[in-house]
Structure 1
Amino acid sequence: MTTPPGGPTEPSGIGTPSTALPTDLPPSLQQLIGKHPDEPNVMDPELLADPFGGYGRLREQGPVVRARFMDDTPVWLVTRFEEVRAVLRDPRFVNSPYSIPGHTGPDTRDQLMELLGIPEEFSVHILESVLTSDPPDHTRLRRLVSRAFTARRVPELRPRVEEITDELLDGLPGHTDENGVVDLIEHFAYPLPITVICELVGVPEADRPRWRLFGSDLASLDPERIGASFPVMVHHIHDLIAERRADLRDDLISALIRAQDDDGGRLDDTEMVTLVMTLVLAGHETTAHLIGHATVALLTHPDQLRLLRQDWGLLPRAVHELTRRCGSVQMTQLRYAAEDVELAATRIRQGEAVQPVLVSANHDPRHYDDPERLDLTRRGAEDQVGFGHGTHYCLGAPLARQECEVAIGRLLRRYPDLALAVAPDQLRTQVRRRQPGAWRLQNLPLRLEGAP
């Protein structure tokens, strides 16, 4: 593999990544790493610790690279911008093996569900969600919740997003330790999006801490934790729906109940539970870490921070550029070829799995000039694929961008002397290395030097 053009491989200013083999992986996954030396596994330490550099080197090897998924099944990695977008908008690449003409089973994803410890009777909530389904089911499910994320509805939520943001910012000094340091992830970046999405969906305030635990358990990839937590989460959602059915309100759970009642049961209970689970988990995890990485990127690029302070009108474009350069989502759901497809001179056979890699696409020097450089004025940053592309473009992307705009703008204005509490190369991070496809800060220690 060749070294990609440009600057450092780790773009968010977060220390030197370690490529040591993760020792806390469950044995079921640990034993799969390195079984095929000529085919990189998405669980390889290099890719988990430094996805920007690791996938960048694979991108320079070719636009389509043979590899292995976390369960050791073969997969084609799609690494370059044009090819990634082509796959994501091509109906010949489907999300479910059952959409492949003539498919009669078995489901190639069952092995992964077993490795992750998800009980068989609950796997439907992963395998048949709005994220993993295809039209017409995907169209039907997406339509049920899309009204909450329209271009008209999202701006209407902004005053409440600003109110929650200000409350959290006012409370930050009360969370500083004896050295005047506060963890921005714990006390700001996480609470903001989880509060917003839970209010939108209809999850009571008292239940919200449970959702952070649910998300943490799923991200652990520990089959014991997942196997214990997943059924609890599903039963909890059933209880939420039953409670709301007796007391309908102006929230998404109530809207789904009304849709179910008005549509003759075309939305079944399992689909409703799955929609709620998907919206809450997807609606806060990625946004929380985007806020964290964006803060680090700006604090470690004073020239760009200065530009933003001089013109707060740059915020919308800045969020696109920050998402492109240090977004927390590294790849999409697997796709499957519904027929033989020629992609970048590579023949992908019917039924073979394809993995579009967003992080390497967003850093592709064939599409972006000097992609490792943070440039809040970059023209064309709006076409970044950090939220996906095509039919499965992230439904909550407008809300996530708005939350990030509000969070970054108000944080920097409220605390004008905000600074990292450690040197960038010493910033302690945990990129949940056992979870391929994600880039997450476990904590972010900051000094609120401008705090009253």
Structure 2
Amino acid sequence: MSTSGTTEPVNLFDADLVRDPFGGYARLREQAPMVRGAFPGLDSPVWLVTRYDDVKTVLSDRRFVNNPASVPGADVRNIRDELIEARGVPREYAAYILDSVLDSDGDDHLRLRRLVSRAFTARRVAQLRPRVEEITADLLDRLPDHAVDGVADLIEHFAYPLPITVICELVGIPEADRPLWREWGRSLTSLEPGALAEPLRRMVTYIHELIARRRADPAGDLLTGLIRTHDEDGDRLTDTELVTMVLTLVLAGHETTAHLIGNGVTALLTHPDQLAALRADPGLLPRAVQELMRWCGPVQGTRIRYAAEDVEIGGMAVRRGEPVMAVLVSANHDPRRFDDPGRLDITREADGHKEVHVGFGHGLHYCLGAALARQEGEVAFGALLRRYPRLELAVAPEELDRQFLPFSWRLARLPVRLRA
């Protein structure tokens, strides 16, 4: 990985950088306020913004837009479009992952976000807690059934099933169909050319069929509400937007939370002092979840944004139309904001409801499901440690298998020994 100067772009798929993003992006952060990064096979470099204050600026400043078409008076290349095309996704399906609420700006973003935001308010999430606790208890009851010689894969049998069950119940995905989404979610992380096309086609087809079924048999779920909005006022939600919203909610609603749980359990089991403090005082759970999201959050970089006009970041110029990526992992470990940022400290913030890190983003595109993810983390960590007070890793930490996925920090498996 080259970090010399700012003229040679950093390879964002560099094996050393993906394997150690904490150290790699720390070196880039101290090199300059911004450095150039490049995706293999594309000749459009991206500005990497790595310092905490600058990251918050990019995420909150309306001069940075998610859709390159929102840049006035410029023909801007859509890098995400090029990346999706390089992965072999047919154009007729690309729109379902390129034109979501996550990629929209201005009035379109507000319109789409408002359609689902009420399902994720603090009050609504609090009402869901008993059900989250019930699902968690059931998964823990069944965890020994998946163990071999007392060892179970916590990713496969706990960290994934919990959030996917919660979000599928909320959206309205029938229980029998949920294993399909687990498999489809796996396919999205493959970097093999062509690996995404068929699963995406199946997801889109499935959602269309589910919409037809729900129209004929309405329920009290979020999907029924979205269908009603679509049918009563097509200007508020188009056919494609309806399918895209379901796709986005289900995938975003379980993938990142699953890996927050996996990363968090690993962090606690490898930091006995923090684990002991949490066991001694379960009231620290809200603060622990916030610190774990800062220290080992699963999402390490944001979607690419584009400068709608000439902007200055950290004393460096970003020209209109240039792509910018905010590097969350670097901002969350920036010593300019956090004392001894490499130290895991579940008492770091005095109030677990006060969020200083940017693990869930910041500004207009702040994670819609953040409150639900935090709650699921609190419930998962608390219940797991109560059920298995002597839980331990079944392999050495350095033997844990992490997926190779730039800007994501996730385990392929988490073998743990179930010791009560």
| Compared CA separation, residues 105 and 355, structure 1 to 2 (3 A) | closer
Q: 2:268 aligns with which of 293, 298, 313?
A: 298
Q: 1:408 aligns with which of 370, 376, 381?
A: 381
Give distance in 2, aligned partners of 1:224 and 1:401. 34
Q: 1:429 aligns with which of 390, 398, 401?
A: 401
Q: 2:81 aligns with which of 103, 110, 113?
A: 110
Shift of 1:105: 5.8
| Compared CA separation, residues 107 and 425, structure 1 to 2 (3 A) | closer
Instruction: State whether structure 2 residue 160 is matched by structure 1 residue 160.
Output: no
Give distance in 1, aligned partners of 2:367 and 2:255. 13
Shift of 1:70: 4.7
Alignment of 1:42-61 (within 5 A): 42-61=12-31
Decide whether the 8 Å contact of 1:2 with 1:57 is kept in 2. Answer: no
Shift of 1:102: 1.6
Task: Please list every run of 5 or more consecutive structure 1 residues that lacks an aligned counterpart in the other structure.
Answer: 4-35
Give distance in 1, aligned partners of 2:80 and 2:74. 13
Decide whether the 8 Å contact of 2:70 with 2:105 is kept in 1. Answer: yes
Write out per-residue CA displacement over residues 330-387 of structure 1, whole angstroms, 9 at most, x where no aligned residue.
0010000000001111110000000000000000011000001010110277210000
Instruction: State whether structure 2 residue 204 is matched by structure 1 residue 234.
Output: yes
Write out per-residue CA displacement over residues 213-256 of structure 1, whole angstroms, 9 at most, x where no aligned residue.
11111110223221222111111111111111111111111010
Deviates more, 1:384-393 or 1:241-250: 241-250
Decide whether the 8 Å contact of 1:2 with 1:60 is kept in 2. Answer: no
Write out per-residue CA displacement over residues 308-345 of structure 1, whole angstroms, 9 at most, x where no aligned residue.
11111110011000000001100010000000001111
Alignment of 1:191-230 (within 5 A): 191-230=161-200
Amino acid at match of 1:208: R
Instruction: State whether structure 2 residue 40 is matched by structure 1 residue 67.
Output: no
Amino acid at match of 1:351: G
Q: 1:383 aligns with which of 324, 343, 356?
A: 356
Query: Which residue in 2 is equivalent to 1:395?
Result: 368
TM-score calculated relative to the size of structure 1 = 0.89
Instruction: State whether structure 2 residue 123 is matched by structure 1 residue 146.
Output: no
Instruction: State whether structure 2 residue 157 is matched by structure 1 residue 187.
Output: yes
Query: Which residue in 2 is equivalent to 1:354?
Result: 324
Give distance in 1, aligned partners of 2:115 and 2:287. 30
Q: 2:334 aligns with which of 319, 340, 364?
A: 364
Deviates more, 1:159-168 or 1:292-301: 292-301
Deviates more, 1:45-54 or 1:346-355: 45-54
Give distance in 1, aligned partners of 2:7 and 2:69. 31
Give distance in 2, aligned partners of 1:449 and 1:316. 25
Give distance in 1, aligned partners of 2:39 and 2:49. 13
Shift of 1:286: 0.6
Amino acid at match of 1:398: A
Give distance in 2, aligned partners of 1:334 and 1:106. 12
Amino acid at match of 1:155: A
| Compared CA separation, residues 106 and 189, structure 1 to 2 (3 A) | closer
Decide whether the 8 Å contact of 1:324 with 1:385 is kept in 2. Answer: yes
Q: 1:327 aligns with which of 297, 313, 327?
A: 297
SS at match of 1:347: strand
Q: CA RMSD in A?
A: 1.7
Instruction: State whether structure 2 residue 99 is matched by structure 1 residue 89.
Output: no
Amino acid at match of 1:423: A
Decide whether the 8 Å contact of 1:165 with 1:406 is kept in 2. Answer: yes
Shift of 1:425: 2.6
Give distance in 1, aligned partners of 2:112 and 2:386. 40
Write out per-residue CA displacement over residues 76-122 of structure 1, whole angstroms, 9 at most, x where no aligned residue.
00001000001000000000011000235664443222101111111
Give distance in 2, aligned partners of 1:290 and 1:264. 36
Give distance in 1, aligned partners of 2:9 and 2:190. 24
TM-score calculated relative to the size of structure 2 = 0.95
Write out per-residue CA displacement over residues 39-87 of structure 1, whole angstroms, 9 at most, x where no aligned residue.
1121111221111111111111122111213553210000010000010
Decide whether the 8 Å contact of 2:308 with 2:320 is kept in 1. Answer: yes
Give distance in 2, aligned partners of 1:406 and 1:57. 36
Give distance in 2, aligned partners of 1:71 and 1:263. 42
Give distance in 1, aligned partners of 2:234 and 2:173. 25
Give distance in 1, aligned partners of 2:408 and 2:234. 39
Write out per-residue CA displacement over residues 396-422 of structure 1, whole angstroms, 9 at most, x where no aligned residue.
000000000000000000111111112
Give distance in 2, aligned partners of 1:104 and 1:160. 48
Give distance in 2, aligned partners of 1:98 and 1:225. 28
Sequence identity percentage: 63
Shift of 1:127: 1.8
Query: Which residue in 2 is equivalent to 1:169?
Result: 140
Aligned length: 414
Task: Please list every run of 5 or more consecutive structure 2 residues that lacks an aligned counterpart in the other structure.
Answer: none
Amino acid at match of 1:120: R
Shift of 1:262: 2.8
SS at match of 1:383: coil
